[in-house]
Amino acid sequence: NAGVMQNPRHLVRRRGQEARLRCSPMKGHSHVYWYRQLPEEGLKFMVYLQKENIIDESGMPKERFSAEFPKEGPSILRIQQVVRGDSAAYFCASSPGAGVGEQYFGPGTRLTVT
Amino acid sequence: SQQGEEDPQALSIQEGENATMNCSYKTSINNLQWYRQNSGRGLVHLILIRSNEREKHSGRLRVTLDTSKKSSSLLITASRAADTASYFCATDFLYNTDKLIFGTGTRLQVFP
């Protein structure tokens, strides 16, 4: 039973480019969460999605960031016109349903903006 | 603001010793979880304790929860070098169970 998969594992972008991070939840999980981790800090919630719906995006920056979880395919976190401050590790987690407690985390995508 | 604050920020011990990490949080919760993160890697779920539980064990791990003090502790007994990692507590909110709020983490170093 494959766990949460994220790709790419490492991504380097120049300032102004776009970054696309992908997350495939565990089999049978329809709830996806994105978190960002700055160096030496804990994870900070960004967005919670179910298939085709954004449920809670209270942690998403208002500009340049967007997320989707289409009916088919992985969840995508998209960062437009990246800046150096976007450099971080981005983690995706999934769960089988709402309010079930444990979330299963992927290995993360480390984004470096040069 | 961060829901959880962990103490200590860093801890260094010898193999075989016990390691205790504490977590405090601010609001009412449904459950509290502890995760481990090895350097540069993803998070591994260790244990979940519900708000109506006071203590939980899993192998060498013991977690306590005091909802009156809004605090939890993680005890790792007979530590091993492989336990070297950062440990985070994570809570939900009583009325919003869908997102986890992570603490700042404790960096544990276990020397052989």
Type of residue found at A96: P
Type of residue found at A81: Q
Across the interface, whether the CB atoms of A43 and B42 are under 8 A apart is answered: no
Tokens of A40: 């030496």
Across the interface, whether the CB atoms of B100 and A98 are under 8 A apart is answered: no
Per CB-CB distance under 8 Å, the chain B contacts of A101 are: 30-31, 33, 48, 50, 92, 97
Per CB-CB distance under 8 Å, the chain A contacts of B42 are: 91, 105-108
Residues B39, B94 contacting (CB under 8 angstroms):
no
pLDDT tens by residue, A8-45: 999 999 999 999 999 999 998 989 999 999 887 889 99
CA distance B41 to chain A (A): 6
Q: DSSP secondary structure string, B20-51?
A: EEEEE-SS--SEEEEEEE-TTS-EEEEEEEET
Per CB-CB distance under 8 Å, the chain A contacts of B29 are: none
Residues B71, B21 contacting (CB under 8 angstroms):
no
Query: By three-state DSSP, how is residue A91 classified?
Result: strand
d(CA B9, CA B23): 10
CB-based contact (8 Å) between B52 and chain A? Answer: no
d(CA B48, CA B109): 23
Residues A36, A43 contacting (CB under 8 angstroms):
yes
Q: What is the mean pLDDT of residues A82-102?
A: 88
pLDDT tens by residue, B45-97: 999 999 999 999 999 999 999 999 999 999 999 999 999 999 999 998 777 66
Pairing of strands A88-95, A65-68: unpaired
